[in-house]
Amino acid sequence: MHVDGIVYADDALIESIRDDQALEQVANVAFLPGIQLASLAMPDIHWGYGFCIGGVCATDPADGGVISPGGVGYDINCGVRLVRTNLLRGDVRPVQTQLVEELFRRVPTGTGRGGKYRFTPAELRRLMSEGVAYLLGRGLAVDSDLEHTEARGVLANAEPDNVSHRALARGYDQCGTLGSGNHFLEVQAVDAIFDTEAARSMGLEEDMICVMIHSGSRGLGYQVCDDALRSLRKAPEKYGIDLPDRQLVCAPVDSPEGRQYIGAMCAAANFAWCNRQLLMWQARECFETIFGRSWQELGMDLVYDVAHNIAKFEEHTIGPVSKRVWVHRKGATRAFPPGHAETPAAYRKIGQPVIIPGDMGRASWVLVGQQGSMRQTFGTACHGAGRVMSRTAAIKHARGRRIDQELAAKGVIARARSYKGLAEEQPAAYKDVDLVVEVVHRAGLANKVARLCPIGVIKG
Write down the catalytic residue from 165, 183, 383, 441: 383
Instruction: Give CA–CA dist 230/235, Å, rounded.
Output: 10
Asked whether 199 and 450 are in contact (CB, 8 A), the reply is: yes
Phi, psi for 375 (deg, rounded to 5): -75, -35
Asked whether 374 and 447 are in contact (CB, 8 A), the reply is: no
Enumerate helices (H) and strands (E) in the chain, giving the number of each: 17, 17
Instruction: Give CA–CA dist 259/269, Å, rounded.
Output: 15
Asked whether 56 and 26 are in contact (CB, 8 A), the reply is: no
Instruction: Give CA–CA dist 165/171, Å, rounded.
Output: 10
Report the chain's terminal Cα–Cα distance, integer Å. 40
Catalytic, 383? Answer: yes
331 closest CA partner among 359, 354, 310: 310
Asked whether 232 and 261 are in contact (CB, 8 A), the reply is: yes
Quote the strand ranges of 115-230, DSSP E.
184-193, 208-215
Report the catalytic residues. Answer: 383
